[in-house]
Structure 1
Amino acid sequence: MITDWHTLNREPSLPELYVRAALRRKITGTALPETGLRCWLDVDPQRLAAYRKVCGFADNGLLPPTYPHVLAFALQMQLLTSKEFPFPLLGLIHLSNRIRVLRPMGGVHRARVSVQVQNLQPHAKGATFDLVTTLDDQLGTLWEAESQMLCRGVKLDGEPVEDELAPTLALTQVTRWKAPADIGRQYAKVSGDYNPIHLSAASAKLFGFPTAIAHGLWNKARTLAALADHLPTANIEIAVQFRKPVRLPSEVTLLASAAASSGDLQLVGAGELEHMVGHWRPVA
């Protein structure tokens, strides 16, 4: 697919995009747009510091490996609420996330963010697509990611293919932490992601959840902050699949293999409930 790139002069306005998202409730087609969005953005030191605090990252002079998602969020919202995008944003389910840090992300004050959607595939519960995001500086690509999203109720031809991640190495407990009742609101303030399922029990119940659940990308960020001494700072791919949601409030335990260039991880809750599973590998 050849992407038709549109370059924006400034970051989109999130309040307007949330209104647009709230008004879109129907599936309008089964083809993804071939357009992508790009914009040069500045890294706000105060917002970055607040993000580090909420997710547990130390200030080591590098952008946290999950932070480019925050830089890209408004562009992602604009793309996913455009008239050309066929699925309603509210109700999309984040199934998995894969990021690649290609070079050390130190001294990044301004970068070009690019977002597009691709790889529409049938799924047992609907259809999936990849939300693809890249971060570039003057020297080229620094970071790239794919988030696999599920839209329920879409009918596509073909057999569903699901790629399951599973730990293959011996895992030991690294740490545990509590996900407080308000972590969804805390993360929303630093990320811009005010999805109602994360904010309160009342708003989550409107979408079929008995209580608020933690953002998947907060779970991943909090995990990578805890594993910072385990992981290389560049030439690394970190893939996770989100399993059972982390209901708020709750306590979770992080398991991981020994520090190395490759490894496995698992986030579990009470009763060995598996919330997230993943691995890290050198970039191929």
Structure 2
Amino acid sequence: MTIQWLDLDTVPALPGLFLQALLRRGATGKELPNLGLRTHTSINPQNLAAYRKVCGAADSSLLPPAYPHVLAFPLQLKLLTDKRFPFPLLGLVHLENSIQVLRPLAGLGPFSISVHVENLKPHDKGAIFSIITCLEDQLGLLWRGDSRVLCRGVKLDGSPEAPLELPDVPLTTRGQWHAPSDIGRRYARVAGDYNPIHLSALSAKLFGFPRAIAHGLWNKGRVLADLAEQLPDSGYQIDVRFKKPLLLPGDVTLESSADAATGQFTLASSHDMLHLHGNWQPLNH
């Protein structure tokens, strides 16, 4: 698929896009647009500091490895609310997330950031596709993200692919923390993602949840903060599968394998409810 790139002068403003997302109902097709969005951006040091605080990440000369998702969120929202995108934004489910850190994430920019969608496939609960995000500097590609997202109820031809299962490895407790009832609102103020399911019990109940749930990318960012000493500065990939939602408030335990070039980790509640399962590996693995 040849991507038709639309270059934007500025990062899109969020309020109008949220309104479009709320008003959109029902799928309008079964093909992804070949549209991609690009713009230039720089990092706001106050926003970066707030992200580190809400995710428990230590100060560093390098950006937290999941932080580029925050930079990309306005572009992602604009693409997913475009009339050419066939699925309603509300109700999409983030199933998997993969990030590749090709070179050290140093500096505050300027950067070029781009998003597009691809790889639409059948899933046993609907259709799944990728939101691809790329962060570049003057030397080229720095970071690449692949968010695999489910749209329920869409029927595509073909059979769903069986998920690749990771081998069992010994895991030990790496960290434990409390996710407070307001962590969804706090993360939303940093990341811009004001999905109602994360904000309060009242708004989450409108979408079938008993209480607000934590953002999947907050879970991942918080996990990576605790795994920072196990990861190199660059040349690695982190894959995560999101499992059961983390209801707020909640207490969770991070377990990981021993320090090595490759490894696995899980995040689970005290009653053994699994919230995510992931692994890290070198890019040339």
TM norm structure 1: 0.98
Question: What is the correspondence of 1:160-171 to structure 2 with a 5 Å cutoff?
Answer: 160-166=160-166, 168-171=168-171
Moved more, 264-273 or 70-79: 264-273
Partner of 2:193: 193
In the alignment, the residues of structure 2 paired with residue 271 and residue 181 of structure 1 have an alpha-carbon distance, to the nearest angstrom, of 18
Partner of 1:258 in structure 2? 258
Shift, 1:119, TM fit: 0.3
Query: Whole-Å Cα distance in 1 between the matches of residues 20 and 57 of structure 2?
Result: 33
- Give matches, 1:69-218, under 5 Å: 69-166=69-166, 168-218=168-218
Correspondence list, 1:12-31, <5 A: 12-31=12-31
Residue aligned with 1:53, SS: helix
For the residues of structure 1 that align with 2:200 and 2:10, how far apart are their CA atoms? 31
Following superposition, the deviation at residue 164 of structure 1 comes to 4.1
Residues in 2 aligned to 1:165 and 1:210: alpha-carbon distance in whole angstroms: 30
Kept in 2: contact 1:235–1:283 (CA 8 A): yes
The whole-number CA distance in structure 2 between the counterparts of 1:236 and 1:264 is 13
In structure 1, the residue corresponding to 2:229 is in which secondary structure?
coil
Amino acid at match of 1:110: P
Unmatched tracts of structure 2, length 5 or more: none
Contact 1:165 1:277 in 2 (8 A): no
- Cα distance, 1:281 vs. partner? 0.3
Shift of 1:168: 2.9
Q: Deviations over 1:93-112 (max 9, x none)?
A: 00000000000011232210
What are the Cα deviations for residues 123-178 of structure 1, in whole angstroms up to 9, with x where unaligned? 11100000000000000000001000000010101001142443532110001000
- Structure 1 runs not aligned, ≥5 long: none
Aligned ranges for residues 52-67 of structure 1 at < 5 Å? 52-67=52-67
SS state of the match for residue 219, structure 2? helix
| 2:266 maps to 1:269 | no
Q: Tell me the equivalent position of 1:225.
A: 225
Range 76-85 or range 226-235, more displaced: 226-235
SS for the counterpart of 1:47 is helix
Contact 1:179–1:252 (8 Å) recurs in 2: yes
Give the counterpart letter for 1:53 in structure 2.
K
CA deviation after TM superposition for structure 1 residue 74, in Å = 0.1
- Tell me the CA shift for residue 273 of structure 1: 1.0
CA RMSD of aligned residues (A): 0.9
Counterpart of 1:11 in structure 2: which amino acid?
A: V
How many angstroms apart in 2 are the aligned matches of 1:167 and 1:42? 40
Corresponding residue of 2:247 = 247
In 2 relative to 1, CA 165–224 (structure 1 residues): closer, same or farther, beyond 3 Å? farther
2:19 corresponds to 1:44 = no
Q: For residues 189-209 of structure 1, what are the alpha-carbon distances to aligned partners after superposition, in whole Å with 9 as ceiling and x for unaligned?
A: 000000000000100011111
One-letter identity of the residue aligned with 1:150 = L
| Percent identical | 57
